[in-house]
Chain A
Amino acid sequence: MSDSAETEYLDIPEMDHDGWADYVEAQGWTDGLPLVPPTEASVARMMDGARGDNEPFPAITPRLLIPTLRSLAANAVMAGCRPSYFPAVLAALRGVLVADYNLHGTLATTHSCAPMAMVNGPLRQELNINCGTNCFGQGWRANAAIGRALQLILLNIGGGKPAVMDRSTFGSPAKYTFCFGENEEESPFEPYHVRNGFRADESVVTVMSAEPNHNLNDHGSTTGLGLLTTFAGGIATPTANTISAKGPYFIVLGPEHAATLARDNWTVKKIQDFLYDKARVPLAWISKENQARYEEAGHFPENDAFRVAPTPDDIHVAVAGGPGKHSAWIPSFGGTAAISIRVKPPAA
Chain B
Amino acid sequence: MRIVNPTYGIAPQGEGSATAGPVDWMNDPIVLFSNNKPNAKELLLGVRDRLSSIRRVDNVDYIAKGSASQPAPPEMLNEVVRKYRIALLALGD
Contacts and interface: CB of A to CB of B under 8 A. Distances in A.
B20 interface: no
Interface stretch (A72-80, A118-126, A274-282, A314-322): A72-80
Interface stretch (B2-10, B21-29, B51-59, B80-88): B2-10
Contact of B7 (A5, A59, A293): A5
A272 interface: no
Contacts, number: 114
A4 B12 contact: no
Interface string B60-90: 0000000111110000000000000000000
Nearest to B9: A65
B11 interface: yes
Contact of B93 (A73, A104, A110): A110
B67 A246 contact: yes
Nearest to B11: A65
B5 A9 contact: yes
Given A65-B11, A110-B93, A333 B69 contact: yes
A222 interface: no
Nearest to A157: B9
Interface of B: 1-12, 15, 36, 38, 67-71, 93
The A interface, classified by DSSP as helix, strand, loop or mixed, is loop
B3 A12 contact: yes
A305 B10 CA distance: 49
A83 B3 CA distance: 17
Contacts of B12: 59, 64, 66
Contact of A13 (B1, B15, B69): B1
Nearest to A109: B69
Contacts of B67: 246, 297, 335
Nearest to A100: B70
Contacts of B2: 9-12, 39-40
Contact of A102 (B8, B10, B36, B69): B69
A157 B7 contact: yes
A7 B1 contact: no
Contacts of B38: 293
A297 B68 contact: yes
A4 B7 contact: yes
The B interface, classified by DSSP as helix, strand, loop or mixed, is loop
A4 B4 CA distance: 11
A59 B38 CA distance: 31
Interface of A: 1-15, 29, 37-40, 43, 59-60, 63-68, 70-71, 73-75, 77-78, 102, 104-105, 109-110, 152, 156-157, 241, 246, 293, 297, 333-336
B62 to A, nearest CB: 14
B30 to A, nearest CB: 23
B46 to A, nearest CB: 18
Contacts of B68: 297, 335
Nearest to A336: B69
B69 A67 contact: no
A59 B15 CA distance: 12
Which of B9, B12, B68, B71 has the largest count of A CB atoms less than 10 A from its CB?
A: B9
Contact of A152 (B4, B5, B6): B6
Contacts of B71: 102, 104-105
B9 A68 contact: yes
A6 B38 CA distance: 39
